[in-house]
Amino acid sequence: MNIIGPDAVVFGVDDIDVAARYMTDFGLKPAGQVRDGLLFETLDGTGVIICQANDPASPAPLSPTNKARKIIYGVADQQSLDEIAAELGKDREVRRLADGAIEALDDLDIPLVFQLTRRRELSLPAEKINAPGAPLQRPVNCVGVDDQDALPQVRSLGHFALFVPDVAKAEAFYVQRLQFRVNDRLGGGPFMRSKGTQEHHTMFLIQTPPQLKGIEHMAFHLGGPSEVMQAGNRFRDLGHTSFWGPGRHNFGSNWFWYFDGPLGCRFEYDADMDKHDDDWVPREVPLHADNAQAYLMEMLEENWAPFDGPRKPVVSSAG
């Protein structure tokens, strides 16, 4: 079952224009109508799909407080699609869609779609650093900060966090039925990766009461930590509310910056995710801010010097 990772998450929204502005401000590009609604995509074709909240073709919200409707996974080949259909067909309805994708419920009644991935191959440079004692990554006379007005490009949908009322039941389904692997645990919540990737995680499960079932946040990869800072500053300057960050996580090691938004979940800019294979030994730590973030920066709201200048980040202790 070569499941690569999430191709998209579908949301039902009350105001298409408000949701569209949020996503285009964030850096996603409108890509038109697809099977489940309007697609807003990253450079590799993954992204977010929105439809009207009252669309009769869309399943009900996952919970009264969440706008997510279904999760769409990309798989590498037809054999994987057939294997998934055969496995899930043992004990639940599997619906074949007109375009060849399949749809079924997981063990917590969350609608899942599996399709031949729409991901496009990317060939882009990453941020490079120079450090004493190490070979130069950026050659002499090549500056690290040049055009600060250039807009960072959102490269790919990396992962999401999922509110579930029964973490153990959800974990068992994805591990035993779909061949996901647990890479680490934070407060009992598993960071899980699908079989077709070495990303530290493509999904993180969070235990919640039943009324909170749904997507907690979605993370989108950028080219490096400087792009996280640049994109986050720009997004905030457009009037969007910062929730957490900028900073760097412990598990996954990815840089992050989370923002509130109108889709009932948060969007995260991230970069530099750890990669793991099946030799990795999962770690487990209690749920605490110091275990969720290696460090966190705070953005000063006042000028840091006696002249009109941009706000500057300062490093603070975790938590």
Q: What value does the mean pLDDT take over residues 275-298? A: 90
* 181 assigned to some structural domain: yes
Query: Per mean pLDDT, which range of 26-30, 31-35, 296-300 is the poorest?
Result: 296-300
Q: Rounded mean pLDDT of the chain?
A: 91
* 127 assigned to some structural domain: no
Asked whether the predicted pLDDT for residue 48 surpasses 50, the reply is yes
- pLDDT tens, 79-125? 999 999 999 999 999 999 999 999 999 999 999 999 999 999 999 99
The better pLDDT of the pair 308, 110 is held by 110
**Token pair listed for 74:** 């990309």
* 306 assigned to some structural domain: no
Neighbours of 182 (CB within 10 A): 17
- What CATH number has the domain bearing residue 111? 3.10.180.10
Asked whether the predicted pLDDT for residue 319 surpasses 60, the reply is no
> What pLDDT score does 211 carry?
79
Structural contact between residues 50 and 38, judged by C-beta atoms closer than 8 angstroms: yes
* 88 assigned to some structural domain: yes
166, burial (CB in 10 Å: exposed 0-12, middle 13-18, buried 19+): middle
* 147 assigned to some structural domain: no
- pLDDT tens, 192-224? 999 999 999 999 999 998 778 999 999 999 999
- pLDDT tens, 5-23? 999 999 999 999 999 999 9
Percent of the chain clearing pLDDT 90 (strictly above): 80
> What pLDDT score does 314 carry?
42
> What pLDDT score does 300 carry?
57
* 100 assigned to some structural domain: yes
> What pLDDT score does 315 carry?
45
d(CA 147, CA 139): 17
Strand pairing class (203-207; 313-316): unpaired
- Can you give the residue range of the structural domain that contains 54? 3-120+154-298
Q: What value does the mean pLDDT take over residues 298-310? A: 54
> What pLDDT score does 55 carry?
92
Percent of the chain clearing pLDDT 70 (strictly above): 92
What does the DSSP assignment read for the chain? --EEEEEEEEEEES-HHHHHHHHHHHT-EEEEEETTEEEEE-TTS-EEEEEETT-TTSPPPSBTTB-EEEEEEEESSHHHHHHHHHHHTTTS--EEPTTS-EEEE-TTS-EEEEEE--PPP---PPP----TTS--SS-TT--SS--TTSPPPP-EEEEEEEEES-HHHHHHHHHHTT--EEEEEETTEEEEE-TT--BS-SEEEEE--GGG-EEEEEEEE-SSHHHHHHHHHHHHHTTPPEEEEEEEESTT--EEEEE--TTSSEEEEEE---B--TTPPPEEE-S-HHHHEEEEEEE-SS-SSSS-----EEEE---
Structural contact between residues 270 and 228, judged by C-beta atoms closer than 8 angstroms: yes
Give phi and psi for 97, each to the nearest 5.
-90, 165
Q: What value does the mean pLDDT take over residues 26-45? A: 97
Asked whether the predicted pLDDT for residue 302 surpasses 60, the reply is no
b/e code 69-108 from CB counts within 10 Å (16+ = b): bbbbbbbbeeebbebbbebbeeeeebeeeeeebbbbbbbb
Q: How confident is the model at residue 238 (pLDDT cuts 50, 70, 90)?
A: very high
Q: How many domains does the chain divide into?
A: 1
- pLDDT tens, 239-262? 999 999 999 999 999 999 999 999
> What pLDDT score does 318 carry?
39
pTM: 0.91
* 138 assigned to some structural domain: no
Q: What value does the mean pLDDT take over residues 52-62? A: 91
Asked whether the predicted pLDDT for residue 28 surpasses 50, the reply is yes
- pLDDT tens, 143-187? 888 776 778 999 999 999 999 999 999 999 999 999 999 999 999
* 269 assigned to some structural domain: yes
Asked whether the predicted pLDDT for residue 307 surpasses 70, the reply is no
